[in-house]
Structure 1
Amino acid sequence: MPTPAVPDPSRPRVLIVEDDDTIGRHLVSGLRGSDYRSSWSRTGSAALAEATQSAYDVLLLDLGLPDMDGLDVARVLRARRPDLLIIILTARTDDIDVIAGLDAGADDYLVKPFSLSVLLARLRAHLRRRTVPAPPQEPVRLADLVLDVSARRCTLDGDEVALRAKEFDLLAVLAQHVGDAVSRETLMAEVWDENWFGSTKTLDVTMAGLRRRLTQAAGARARLPRITTLRGHGYRLEP
């Protein structure tokens, strides 16, 4: 009898949270065939229990679960595991639903139906960026905003601003090119991946979240640098 294969601990572990049997089986098979260690939970409560018992690198999360809203699962696991990569799989396409998912702690989203090749490309892009260390950089100071890329800290008038990971990365790229027009293509390549393909709606949603968090943190007292939208091109962080 052959000796059972021992799982390679270096392979990323993926927890799939999906109540549809067809989609769940397809994801498990596709991920295992692409050298990921994958597990499958059909409910939110089962996913929370599984994620508590075992250390996962990635969460693929359906929002329409039978026992609880997927957004609540994202919030709980984001609080427990700040380093967990959360990708939402959803049939909801309205901006408000995408914003809610990102605000709940998701790093990215895919709209159903999607191809396995697109999902695998997104996973490779996210995981590759997490393993490449950024070189030390001096903090950038603009009005009352201080952005310390090396420490991944953003402060306004001395108070720290809690930004989502991609919101911070987006602001960091704009700060590296302060005063210059930065194209949408450049932002997608720098913040997401140079081989990104498909809709850039993620950029618009992330930018909206970034602006909202900075404005709320500034209130009436702190001075913010303005992020100008350049229609048909991209954005510019004003000096």
Structure 2
Amino acid sequence: MQYSYLIVDDNKTNIQETLRKFEEFPDYYCAGIAENKDDAINKILELQPQIVFLEISPKNKKSNLSLNIITELYRFIDNVPYFIALTASSKLAFEAIQAGVSDYLLAPLSQFDLRKSLLKFQKTNPAAANGTICIRSYGDYQFISLNDIVYLKADNNTTDFYLQNGRKLTAYKTLKHYETNLPFYFFRIHNSYIVNINFVSRINTGKSLCYLNNSDLSISFSKTFKDNVDTIIRKIAPEYL
């Protein structure tokens, strides 16, 4: 199972150190980085990370206000990500917990503390790798493994599901509905397409093409969803961004 996280920190050295710590946790990938409050809120709403690492500092008033990110998010969404505060001091622990932070780690971040925090997250947020989705067509209910879905294609007010075995199923709901409700490893890359990143085998940014199923299939991505494409590349090959 893959888990996504976002780093909110205005210190580039701290960001690089946090990323290095994650090299020992291949089940986690960085969905994005934000250096201020507005950028953090925007990326959380857009990228929907499961965990947000939020740097706070008692010496920097601007950073203290970053705790308000959690309050701001509740204006737009009901379920906010799992927030983990990163700080060099324990002075803000009570305030952070009151604001809705789920865990509190002291800097410099140790591998052991990070490991414990991630295990705590997994324990409180269990996720089945082989989840299913129900596709209904009138009175016919079909239960499909999420891992079998290669991509989705919009067809007016319906959505076609293309499966690994070559089957195509039609659901009487819009692509927007599935964009909101599918797990984090499904990304919209075009007004008409959502892809399962586990089947992405190649991305050609020059031709704006995303290849699936070992390059047997290619679909276009648009500039509107370029950030999502960058996130896919970051997940698969972070060294190239």
Alignment TM-score, normalising by the size of structure 1: 0.45
Point out the structure with the larger helix share. 1
Point out the structure with the larger strand share. 2
Alignment TM-score, normalising by the size of structure 2: 0.45
